[in-house]
Amino acid sequence: MPMLTPSQVHLDVPLTNLTVAYAQEASGFIADKVFGTVSVSKQSDKYYKYDREGLRHGDVKVLAPRTEVNRVGMALSTDNYFADVRGLGMDFDEQTLANEDTMLEIRSQGANVLMEKILIDREVRWADTFFKAGVWGTETTPANLWSDYTNSTPIVDVTNARRAMQLKSGGYKPNVMVVGKAVRDILVNHPDILARLNGGATVTNTALITDAKLAEIFEVEQFLVMEAVYNDAAEGLADNIDFIGGKHAMLAYKPSSMGLRTPASGAIFTWDSIPGVSGLGITVESFSDDALKRQQIAEMIQVKCSDDMKVIGADLGYYFDSVVA
């Protein structure tokens, strides 16, 4: 007797409530969390920098009647920024859009892909430019790498770095610590860290170690981990995916808000006069015109970023090079 089979009573069609797409969480990108953002109306300009004459001791004197106070001076210098415009786009032809399954939302996903590429580009630029030796006022490699659980002392190393940075910067305490993902993975199992937890802990008797707890241990307001990943393989080749940031660490000072006479380790100047730009200097645009239509392109989405990342106060940063094996 003929029997119906499952494949005869159902034809496979795409689900309307599920699609799969890869996209990183924005929290994994740290560039704008380390450097304050300064919105600017012009693509290029200058900004002023005062010296630290106020730290000098010995100029104040006791005044006898009819004597004058000592006069002191101060120096002023300038630096400049130039906000390059970077961007990329994605085309959608008429036939593809006309034949699109509704649940795909390819325009929205296309914008997400472009945005992720822009964020990765900025994160890589920040790491390549600032998360390295030769940039900050003080730098070191620990005598014992933090991956050496027997001999290393990461808390002592950071405490000494905090003191050195305070002295060199004129009293400013670092309030941000940045580490590569490999560094965090080592620290969460380090005996020095586990010993600071309530009740103590060991590698075998573990406890949940959050970034907030690491911030407390290292005495900073923010403990930032470079969680973002990127693929540096050319299109068509096997993926080569890695974390951005490497095996380094850094202390920095970031003010609660950027403004006049406000010291900071660095700044991101974002050119915000471009129509539609966000506070991060990023624009997302969708448009169509006759030139595109002649190419059978119904719509183009483009994302642009306009910024310049600068060291503002080199003495407000302390860099640890290659702290784990």
Tens of each residue's pLDDT in the chain, 325 residues: 566 655 654 555 555 454 455 567 888 899 999 999 999 999 999 988 877 766 677 788 888 899 888 887 788 888 999 999 999 999 888 888 888 777 778 888 888 889 999 999 999 999 999 999 999 999 999 999 999 999 999 999 999 999 999 999 989 999 999 999 999 999 999 999 998 886 665 555 557 889 999 999 999 999 999 999 999 999 899 999 999 999 999 999 999 988 877 899 999 999 987 776 776 788 888 888 878 787 888 888 889 999 999 999 999 999 999 999 9
pLDDT of residue 18: 47
Tokens at 181, concatenated: 């993902």
Spatial separation of the C-alpha atoms in residues 225 and 218, rounded to whole Å:
14
pLDDT at 227: 95
Dihedral angle over CA of 316, 321, 322, 323, nearest 10: -50
Least Cα distance to 317 among 148, 190, 166 occurs for 166
Helix (H, G, I), strand (E, B) or coil at 49: strand
Cα–Cα distance, 235 to 17 (Å, whole number):
30
Rounded-to-integer distance, Cα 187 and Cα 215, Å: 12
Quote the pLDDT of residue 153: 97
User: CB–CB of 270/37 below 8 Å?
Assistant: yes
Amino acid identity, residue 140?
T
pLDDT for the residue numbered 293? 80
Cα 84 to chain centroid, rounded = 18
Which pLDDT score is estimated for 17? 52
Burial of 296 (0-12, 13-18, 19+ CB in 10 A): exposed
User: CB burial class (10 A; 0-12, 13-18, 19+) of residue 15?
Assistant: exposed
E strand intervals along 164-279: 176-180, 222-226, 229-231, 241-243, 249-252, 266-271
Domains located in the chain, CATH noted: 6-46+81-320 (3.90.1690.10)
| CA–CA dist 39, 22 (Å, integer) | 31
Angle at 45 between CA 40 and CA 47, to 5 degrees: 90
pTM for this model (two decimals): 0.85
Distance, CA of 269 to CA of 296 (rounded, Å)? 38
Q: Please check whether residue 155 is in contact with residue 217, taking contact to mean a CB–CB distance below 8 angstroms.
A: yes
